[in-house]
Chain A
Amino acid sequence: MAKYLLLKHYRGAPAPANDVSMDKWTPEEISAHMQYMRDFADRLEGTGEFVDGQALAPEGTWVRYDGEGRPPVTDGPFAETKDLIAGWMVIDVDTYERAVELAGELSAAPGAGGKPIHEWLELRPFYGVSPTITE
């Protein structure tokens, strides 16, 4: 009963074993990859562990406050930004070990040549509830 975020990076993660960028894959390999992700999410819904999954477009804008009565300042995108999030999945599982097991399975999604990408995924725990009984 703990939630974890599985973060997939466009950039910023260590290089995977099967390191071929997606535009070099065959269309069938791309379809097989997408299908794997969908099946994974469906299976987790079936086990009662799925919370959310979304993909993000790579281009983002930086925005900040610029003082009273002034429109916000926008900037970017910055090509040199080191870390770039591609998407996420949120899971709700009984143990940390289960979260690691599922992240490992997701990382086995097929890539070039139909072989697992061995992509590095970042596993981040959510803050839990503050328990009533502490002392």
Chain B
Amino acid sequence: MTAPMDEALLRSLTPKVLGILVRRGADFAAAEDAVQEALVKALSAWPADPPRDPKGWLVTVAWNRFLDAARADTARRRREDSIGTERGSPSDHVTEPEPVSAVDDTLQLYFLCAHPSLTPSSAVALTLRAVGGLTTRQIAQAYLVPEATMAQRISRAKRTVSGVRFDQPGDVATVLRVLYLVFNEGYSGDVDLAAEAIRLTRQLAAAIDHPEVAGLLALMLLHHARRVSRTASDGSLVPLAAQDRGRWDTVSIAEGVAILQAALARDRLGEFQAQAAIAALHADAPSAEETDWTQIVEWYDELARLTDSPVVRLNRAVAVGEADGPHAGLAALAKLDDSLPRHTAVAAYLHERAGDPATAAKLYADAARQAPNLAERDHLTRQAARLNTQNH
């Protein structure tokens, strides 16, 4: 009888096992390879023969893999360098104990994998593998690239951070940006990246007490709660106002709101807390019409102060259009650069609300041509088509 495999447990053990290997003296890159091999072995061995001590099993297998690789490496170097000095056996650098780090190993891994010297795509890939415990194959499938390409991306990322000391505190903001990127990638292939991002952010929140980590976790939970209602059965996009609010996940919303309130109470506002506050106001509204748009505009003002992002000001124009009417929204929009992504789509929406369907239809068609993804393109094309058929 084969027991169902607890892949979540396996993945949650990954950073701990990696931390143990590094503390025993293995360098990060070699330890990470060994842990990955142990994970792959566990995926095939555990369903038929589950270990009594999963963490102990992983540490033993990964450590043996590391020693094998180190021995092979030493032997290879001896062959290549026959007159070179005698090298120590792998056990030499194993017995030297590392000073105990004051900061949790898991947290160190997050910092290392999101190190500012890495490009966003490398940081994402390395985080998913070394902290998330996903296999190279799973990450490659999720990002629709060949496995060999993803393997190279990860090994280059490891080379980039090879000189970084493992016990240095890093910048939480860089880690949060990486987790945000993973979450926003959503769902493609076998791996649910949104759920994985939530798991990793939850794990980070347990390792470090920081209001912005809590803010990001709340933001993710509040958006994830609406996920099933965001897409119709034919795959088309359902905008917020048209979503069936009865299908929103109230458990996720309640958790997100509670985490956000605790974070806001600490009075160290950051952009993720402000974004989560906006998401919470939407989640709280029984219908689109009953949304507290005035408060949402105020949160966008906070957000604009924190980030000075043109995207925030664009979203603010939409909120102003709801709070003070479409003409006020158009006035706010007129102050923004019209080459901003989605600027045309917002203009189309506000013109329709202002009672100018002909202009709106033309703008929707323009916006469709500029759309960054298929779901938005098709949605905007449908909006143009709806108005054009009404006009005739």
Residues of A within 8 A of B (CB): 1, 3, 45-52, 92-94, 127-133, 135
* Chain B residues positioned under 8 Å from A129 (CB to CB): 184-186, 188, 373
Counting from the closest, the 9 A-B pairs by CB-CB distance are A48-B153, A130-B375, A48-B152, A131-B184, A1-B121, A130-B373, A127-B374, A94-B119, A127-B373
Per-residue interface assignment for chain B, residues 180 to 213, with 1 indicating a CB less than 8 Å from any chain A CB and 0 otherwise: 1101111010000010000000000000000000
Instruction: Count residues of B near A (Cβ-Cβ below 8 Å).
Output: 45
B interface, by DSSP: helix, strand, loop or mixed? Answer: helix
The answer to whether A133 and B219 touch across the interface, beta carbons within 8 angstroms, is: yes
* Chain A residues positioned under 8 Å from B183 (CB to CB): 132-133
* Distance of A52 Cα from B140 Cα, bound (Å): 13
* Chain B residues positioned under 8 Å from A131 (CB to CB): 184, 186, 373
The answer to whether B152 and A45 touch across the interface, beta carbons within 8 angstroms, is: yes
Contact of B149 among A48, A94, A128, A135 (CB under 8 A): A48
The answer to whether A92 and B145 touch across the interface, beta carbons within 8 angstroms, is: yes
* Distance of A92 Cα from B146 Cα, bound (Å): 10
Contact of A45 among B122, B149, B154, B374 (CB under 8 A): B149
Evaluate whether A48 and B184 lie within 8 angstroms (CB atoms) in the complex, with A130-B375, A135-B315 already known: no
B237 at the interface (CB under 8 A from A): yes
The answer to whether B181 and A1 touch across the interface, beta carbons within 8 angstroms, is: yes
The answer to whether B375 and A132 touch across the interface, beta carbons within 8 angstroms, is: no
The answer to whether A48 and B122 touch across the interface, beta carbons within 8 angstroms, is: yes
The answer to whether B372 and A3 touch across the interface, beta carbons within 8 angstroms, is: no
Residues of B within 8 A of A (CB): 119-122, 124-125, 143-146, 148-150, 152-154, 156, 180-181, 183-186, 188, 194, 219, 223-224, 227, 230, 237, 240, 275, 278-279, 282, 315, 318, 371-377
* Distance of A94 Cα from B121 Cα, bound (Å): 6
Most chain-B Cβ atoms within 10 A of its Cβ — which of A50, A51, A94, A131? A131
The answer to whether B156 and A48 touch across the interface, beta carbons within 8 angstroms, is: yes
Find the B residue at minimum CB distance from A131.
Answer: B184
| Sample (20) of A-B pairs whose CB atoms are under 8 Å apart | A1-B121, A3-B144, A45-B146, A45-B148, A47-B156, A48-B121, A48-B154, A49-B149, A50-B145, A92-B121, A127-B374, A130-B237, A130-B373, A131-B373, A132-B223, A132-B227, A133-B184, A133-B223, A133-B279, A135-B282
Find the B residue at minimum CB distance from A98.
Answer: B119
The answer to whether B121 and A50 touch across the interface, beta carbons within 8 angstroms, is: no
* Chain A residues positioned under 8 Å from B144 (CB to CB): 3, 51, 92
Find the B residue at minimum CB distance from A50.
Answer: B149
* Chain A residues positioned under 8 Å from B180 (CB to CB): 133
* Chain B residues positioned under 8 Å from A46 (CB to CB): 152, 156
* Chain A residues positioned under 8 Å from B181 (CB to CB): 1
Most chain-B Cβ atoms within 10 A of its Cβ — which of A1, A50, A131, A132? A132
The answer to whether A1 and B184 touch across the interface, beta carbons within 8 angstroms, is: no
The answer to whether A127 and B372 touch across the interface, beta carbons within 8 angstroms, is: yes
B110 to chain A, nearest CB (A): 19
Contact of B184 among A49, A51, A92, A132 (CB under 8 A): A132
B140 to chain A, nearest CB (A): 10
Evaluate whether A128 and B372 lie within 8 angstroms (CB atoms) in the complex, with A48-B122, A133-B223, A133-B275 already known: yes
